[in-house]
Amino acid sequence: MKRHTLLLVLLLTAASLFAGSPLDAFLKSPAITPGSTAVIIQDLATGDVLVSHNAATPLLPASIMKTVTIAGLLKEKGPDERFHTKVYADGMIAGNAIEGDLLIVGGGDPTLGADCAPESTDIADEIIAELQHIGVTAIKGGIRIDTSLYEGPDCPSSWAAADLNEAYGTGSHALNFRRNAAGGKAVRNPESKFLSYLATRLRQAGITVQGAPKTGTKGIGSKYAVLLVDHVSDSYAEVMRSCMMRSDNLFAETLLRAFGLARGKAGSTTASADEMLSFWKKAGVPTKGVTLIDGSGLSRANRVTADFINSILRQMGDNEDYASFMPLAGQEGTLSGFLKDTPLDAYVAMKTGSMKGIQCYAGYKLDEQFAPTHSIVIIMNEIGTRGTARRAAEKLLLETFE
């Protein structure tokens, strides 16, 4: 009898401890739907799992998808690669004139003419300076843009129609300009905007363009073609940092396509997303139930598991750049108000993901030297009040790491 009594006491004690655990309290929040929520927090050094719930359940990731895209490209190409937009005199230069077209070859640079970090020089200034240097005052052809770098549509068909008109829902083009947005709305033909801008700048500089502008044509047409300008973006690292800090969908989609091209695939979103999933599967990341549609997380057809994201975070834990791209809790970007004035203020770096009914976090707990010590993935679908869900996530982290 005493033995049975002791066993009962132990079971009740264990149940009591579990009932009062940070995870249990988190799942009981009125904003949380337990069956549509996944969590995993793991010690990077020991592999010990501190918290786990539904880690193998496929859920919508929203913008924490950007952690996947950036990790893949960082592993494939490193932080120092850059985007190139090349400009050619596509015809013989005779006297003060280009006998053919001024050809701009789109390289996918998402920062071209952008009003955010990372800053770049104005490509129009570079073109005009070079034309003036070689004495060209007339272009007998037109301004032509080669947009052949990318295949397929500018954005996935699964993006919501309501998002397509918004600045955050603009597509990724071979030639992007001013973030493909104006007045908070998407610009669907940034090439035309760029053509108009460049033509105006050339005219102001006293350089005449006789032919009509053209877009969509491919390649150099003249054996006399000469490279005039190679406009170079800031490093991938700075583009990635800006993407994570501001949760920029255009930047993420361009980085995904850059990954696909780097892996020898067509420059389409679909081919690049498929290659991204294959890449991580070959790297030993669990991909069961995972569907990658885009690079930004804007598609509601994306599905990831906490295990999938966590495994990537663990693989990237010793990368000196990766964690630094993520906003610091209480300090930066989309995480500036999260965990502010708490013991974890500035000691957690995470990417957030927010859509209607969705709130997600993926990143790291940091030590005093800002090196990752623990991976953190919190995916909340079918949430109630967003503020309540955020506070529940804060409480979970504070109590887990107290």
The reported pLDDT for the residue numbered 119 is 87
Under 8 Å between Cβ of 90 and 144? yes
Read off the amino acid at residue 124: A
The reported pLDDT for the residue numbered 218 is 81
The reported pLDDT for the residue numbered 13 is 40
CATH 3.50.80.20 domain position(s) in the chain: 82-234
Half-sphere exposure of 379 (CA within 13 A, CB side): 30
Under 8 Å between Cβ of 330 and 346? yes
82-234, what's its fold? D-tyrosyl-trna(Tyr) Deacylase; Chain: A; (3.50.80)
The reported pLDDT for the residue numbered 6 is 45
Provide the edge-to-edge strand list for the sheet that holds 226-235: 214-215, 143-146, 101-105, 82-90, 226-235
The reported pLDDT for the residue numbered 120 is 87
Q: Which helix (H) or strand (E) holds 89?
A: strand 82-90
Strand partners, 16: none
- Report the interhelical angle of 236-246 vs 249-262 (nearest 10°): 140
Under 8 Å between Cβ of 229 and 86? yes
Question: How far apart are alpha carbons 269 and 263 in whole angstroms?
Answer: 13
Residues of the chain with pLDDT under 70: 1-19
Cα→Cα distances 216→15, 65, 219, 229, 371, Å:
66, 30, 10, 20, 46
DSSP labels, 251-314:
HHHHHHHHHHHHTT--SSHHHHHHHHHHHHHHTT---TT-B---SSS--TT-BB-HHHHHHHHH
Question: How far apart are alpha carbons 233 and 11 in whole angstroms?
Answer: 62
CATH 3.40.710.10 domain position(s) in the chain: 25-78+239-400
Kindly report, residue by residue over 237-292, the tens digit of the pLDDT: 999 999 999 999 999 999 999 999 999 998 999 999 999 999 999 999 999 999 99
Place of tokens 């598991």: 305
Read off the amino acid at residue 393: A
Tokens of 399: 């109590």
Q: Which of 133, 137, 78 lies closest to 102, judged by CA?
A: 137
- Report the interhelical angle of 65-77 vs 249-262 (nearest 10°): 40
DSSP labels, 123-177:
HHHHHHHHHHHTT--EESS-EEEE-TT--S-SS-TTS-HHHHTBGGGPPP-SS--
Q: Which of 108, 176, 193, 104 lies closest to 141, judged by CA?
A: 104
DSSP reduced 3-state for 38: strand
25-78+239-400, what's its fold? Beta-lactamase (3.40.710)
Question: How far apart are alpha carbons 363 and 326 in whole angstroms?
Answer: 7
